[in-house]
Amino acid sequence: MVQHQSFLLCTCCKEGHYAPADLHELDCLQPDTAADDIDGCYTAQQRAAVLRVLNTASREELAGIKLLRGRKSANIVEYRAGRGPFTNLQSLLEVPLFKHKTIMKVCQSILNPCQEPGKKEKKFQGLKFIKPDVERKRLLAVNSIVSVVFGIRKIAWAHVDRNLTVLDWNQETSHRYMKGPYLPSIYLEEISSAVSKIPKADFFILEKPSISVQNTNLFPVTLHLRTIEAMLHGLLGASFLEDGQHKVLSVVRTAVGKHFELMVGESRTSGRELVQQFMIDSVTQEHPRVLFPRDTLARYRRLFQKGNADRGEEMCDALLQAIAFYEFLFNNP
């Protein structure tokens, strides 16, 4: 608003001259409250999808979303830790570095991950992400596999047959990893203990660690994961020296994420809710996607109840990886 000798000129709408006494009539100075209603811009399903990502994704997964790299992803995690999960999109305004325009763009990035213009969407071929290459005839003859996923403290596995029936689903926890020097003897003892509990199967499918080698801050974690990966290959695939046949295969983590539509940008979100739905479907549907024996289902469901300190993320990932392997194999010509 620019003041002249006897009138005021509105610099926002520039539609006329106003006397100082008429200042209260200028609508252009009133805030547009409707523009601040972020939740009202999306449907209930869209809001739920965005909130699910914001409340479950790790800092690394959030950093894979457009506009959330750097400090913003850390601020979201700190907000959740201090104040609990987001209950609506409007509460994002309380997070440092988040303005209305930024939030709208973040929501759009989550709901509609960008694709490069001019590129046609390619048919997803999951088998090409399984290494080393094995004759398809051997894979099609499989009776059961054990899918193995490992993290900082846990090695989890899911033993699943070709009919997608869960035969065994468990994990081994160790608190001796990454303490002091990386002693080979400790890794041998702890991983051998886990391997002794893993059932026999035609193939063992390991999750390929997806941490970038360029992220030097995570080098200790990368070293830890690659050490476990190498030792699992050696201990589970000992028969390779006898017959020259690979029984231990690796699958890229993002391939499983794409198969189940768990990807947000370049990062993968939690599959916990999806696994819980599979357990419900196993009871309620005539032909469920995966079958859990009734005598073990109650125990599995207790693992994922709210309030359980062990979120079972590695177990969820192991099961999803097993399901994806079979669907890659039998659903692709």
CATH number at residue 86: 1.10.150.280
Does 120 map to a domain?
A: no
- On whether both 132 and 242 belong to a single domain, the answer is yes
**pLDDT at position 33:** 41
> Starting at the edge strand that comes first in sequence, how are the strands of the sheet with 166-173 ordered?
130-131, 248-252, 203-208, 144-150, 154-161, 166-173
Average pLDDT over residues 40-48: 87
What CATH number does residue 191 fall under?
3.30.420.10
**pLDDT at position 72:** 85
Would you place residue 32 in the very low, low, confident or very high pLDDT band (cuts 50, 70, 90)?
very low
Does 119 map to a domain?
A: no
- On whether both 176 and 102 belong to a single domain, the answer is no
- On whether both 12 and 38 belong to a single domain, the answer is no
Average pLDDT over residues 166-170: 96
| Residue type (1 letter), 221 | V
Cα 279 to Cα 292: distance, rounded to the nearest angstrom: 7
Cα 181 to Cα 172: distance, rounded to the nearest angstrom: 22
Three-state DSSP state, 92: helix
Would you place residue 68 in the very low, low, confident or very high pLDDT band (cuts 50, 70, 90)?
confident
**pLDDT at position 29:** 38
* Most confident option among 70-74, 77-81, 111-115, 174-178: 77-81
- On whether both 38 and 25 belong to a single domain, the answer is no
> Where is average pLDDT lowest: 33-47, 56-70, 117-131, 147-161?
117-131
Does 156 map to a domain?
A: yes
pLDDT digit string, tens, across residues 74-104? 889 999 999 999 999 999 999 998 888 889 8
* pLDDT score of 298 more than 90: no
- On whether both 209 and 184 belong to a single domain, the answer is yes
Three-state DSSP state, 113: coil
Average pLDDT over residues 7-33: 46
Does 18 map to a domain?
A: yes
**Whole-model pTM over 0.85:** no
- On whether both 17 and 46 belong to a single domain, the answer is no
Largest interatomic CA distance in the chain = 100
Residue after which a domain boundary falls, among 78, 111, 144: 111
Is pLDDT larger for residue 197 or for residue 214?
197
**DSSP annotation of 216:** G
- On whether both 85 and 186 belong to a single domain, the answer is no
Domain total in the chain: 3
Does 116 map to a domain?
A: no
Contacts of 42 (CB under 8 A, 6+ apart): 50, 89, 107, 111
**pLDDT at position 30:** 40
Average pLDDT over residues 59-64: 81
* Most confident option among 20-29, 171-180, 301-310, 319-328: 319-328
- On whether both 95 and 140 belong to a single domain, the answer is no
Average pLDDT over residues 258-283: 90
- On whether both 26 and 44 belong to a single domain, the answer is no
**DSSP annotation of 99:** -
- On whether both 46 and 17 belong to a single domain, the answer is no
| Residue type (1 letter), 266 | E
- On whether both 171 and 281 belong to a single domain, the answer is yes
> Where is average pLDDT lowest: 121-125, 234-238, 287-291?
121-125
Long-range contacts at 211-220 (CB < 8 A, ≥ 24 apart): 220/178
Does 267 map to a domain?
A: yes
* pLDDT score of 10 more than 70: no
Range(s) of the domain holding residue 24? 2-30
Does 169 map to a domain?
A: yes
- On whether both 133 and 202 belong to a single domain, the answer is yes
Contacts of 167 (CB under 8 A, 6+ apart): 144, 159, 160, 161, 199
Q: Is the peptide bond before 132 cis (omega within 30 degrees of 0)?
A: yes
**DSSP annotation of 240:** H
Cα 171 to Cα 156: distance, rounded to the nearest angstrom: 4
